[in-house]
Structure 1
Amino acid sequence: MPSPSSSPLSALTSRDAVVAALRAAGCVFAEDEAELILAAGAPHEVASMVGRRTAGLPLELVVGWARFGGLRITVEPGVFVPRRRTEFLVEQALAQAPSAAVVVDLCCGSGAVGAALAAGLGEAELHAADIDPAAVRCARRNVACRGGRVHTGDLFEALPGELRGRVDILAANVPYVPSAEIGLLPPEARDHEPRVALDGGADGLDVLRRVASGAPGWLAPGGCLLVEAGRRQASAAVDAFTAAGLRPRLAVCEERYAHVVIGVRP
C-alpha cells in the first residue's frame, strides 16, 4: 500500500481536486461533502480525511459531527450515526408532550435524540442511557451542555430508580434490523457502526418488545413511549405496545421513510 506522501490524495490542494476524488469514489453529493471536509480539516489534514471518506467511512465520522434537529451533534468512531429520518420521532414526541418535564433517551447512541428533545422543550430533566461505553462517552459530549445525565447499562437497568413513574417522554431509538439482514445494509453502516446498535434479533423487534414491556413502570400517567421501526414491522410493533398496556398509534412520514410507534400510558 502506498504511503500518504506517495498517494495521489496527497495532491489534494483545491476544492475541485477534493470534489473529483470524492466523485470518483462514488460519493453522490461530492460537492457538498467537499465543502464539509474542507471546513472541518486543516489543509494538512484534508488528504487524510478524503482518504478515509473514499475508503467508505461515513462522512459524519470523517468530519466528527452530524446535523440533527437543527443541532450539531458530535459523533465518534464506533458510535451509531443519527439518521435524519429520526428527526420525525423527535417531532412526534414534542407534539405529543409539549410540556414534558422529564425526558429519557434510551439506546441513546450519540445522544442526538435527547439533545434535540431538550432543545425543543427548554427546561426539561434529561437522562440518556446506552449499553455501549463508547456511545455513553460520546453522548456525554452532546447532552452535558443541556444539563443532561448519561448512564451506562442495559435498557432500564441503567436508569436511576427515582425516575420510576415520572417520565413524560421515553424515546428509544432501538436497533430494529433483523439479524439475517445485517449483511444487506450499506457498507457505511455494516462496516463502521456497532452491531449492537443495528441488530434487533430474528424479526428486528427483540429490543423493541423489551422496551415496550418495561415502559409502563417508568412512564408518568399520560407519558409516552416513542420507538422507530421499519415499515414491515409497524403492525407487530403496535401489537407489542398494546400487549404492554399502552395506547398505541402509528405515525408515518413517507418523505423520510420514517415509522414511529407512539404509546401512551393510560
Structure 2
Amino acid sequence: VPFLSASLGHAWMGASSAGCGVPSISPSVQYNERIINGQNAVSGSWPWQVSLQTRTGSHFCGGSLINEYWVVTAAHCEFNPYSHVVVLGEYDRYSGSEAVQVKTVTKVSRAVTHPNWDSYNLNNDITLLKLSSPAQLGPRVAPVCLAPANLALPSDLQCVTTGWGRTNTNSNALAVRLQQVTLPLVSQSQCMQYWGSSITSSMLCAGGVGASSCQGDSGGPLVYQNGNVWTLIGIVSWGSSNCNIRTPAVYTRVSQFRNWIDYIVAQG
C-alpha cells in the first residue's frame, strides 16, 4: 500500500565540501534499540525535508531537496504542477510564523517520473521536481547528499526517516510537527520473508522494530549519517496498510537511480 495521505549547491559554515548533508541546526537522534513510533524533530534540523501540498495548503507527501532547483519524491505521490506546490523550511504545519518558501514547479515537463515507474508493483517509485525559482538556501533550507551509484549498505545500519505522516494507526490525522524515527535497514532476503517477490533491486527495506513510516510520509527521506554528513539512501514508498510497526516498510533505493538523477538534473 503506498504511504499516501490522500487515501486516508551552496556551502554553509560547517557544511561538507560537497555543500550537502550537514544541517546548521543539529538533529537530536538517539539510536535506541527500541524506538516506539516517532518523536518531534528539532525544528529546522532536517533542512532538506519538503512538504508537497495542494494549493489550499493540505500536505499529502514529503520530498527531499537535492540542490537549489531540484526535489526528489515518490512517483506514487502523483505531483501535479497545476494543483500542487513544494513547501520548504516547514516544521509546524499550523504555525503562521515560519519563514517557509512556497515553490511552484514549472508546467513544462518538469515533474520527471522515472520511465520505468510501475504503479501496479510500486517499482521504480521516484519522481524529480524542478522548482520554478531556486530555493533560498540557509540554516533551515539546505540539500541532502545523494547516495552514490551502487552503494553497498550493511543490514542493521541505523537510519532516520522523517515526515508529517500519520502518527497513530487509529487516526487518519497527519502530524502537525515534523516527526523523526530511527530505523535499522533490513536485508533484502529478510524483507522478502515479509513481502516475497514484491521486493526488487530498486527497493530498500527498513524498520519492523517498533516504528514505521505511514500514510503522508510518502516521498520523504530515509537518510544515514556518515561522519557528519547525512546521505539520502531511500524514498518512503510503501508498506503495510496499517503501518504495522513489526513489518519493515519499503523505500525506493536511491543508489539504483543516482545515474538517472544526475542525468536529468544535468539536462536542466
- TM-score above 0.5: no
Q: Name whichever structure is richer in strand by fraction.
A: 2
- Structure ranking higher on relative contact order (CA contacts 8 Å, 6+ apart): 2
Structure possessing the higher radius of gyration over alpha carbons: 1
**For the superposition of Structure 1 and Structure 2, which TM-score range results when normalised by the shorter chain?**
under 0.3
Scaled by the length of structure 2, the TM-score of the pair is 0.24
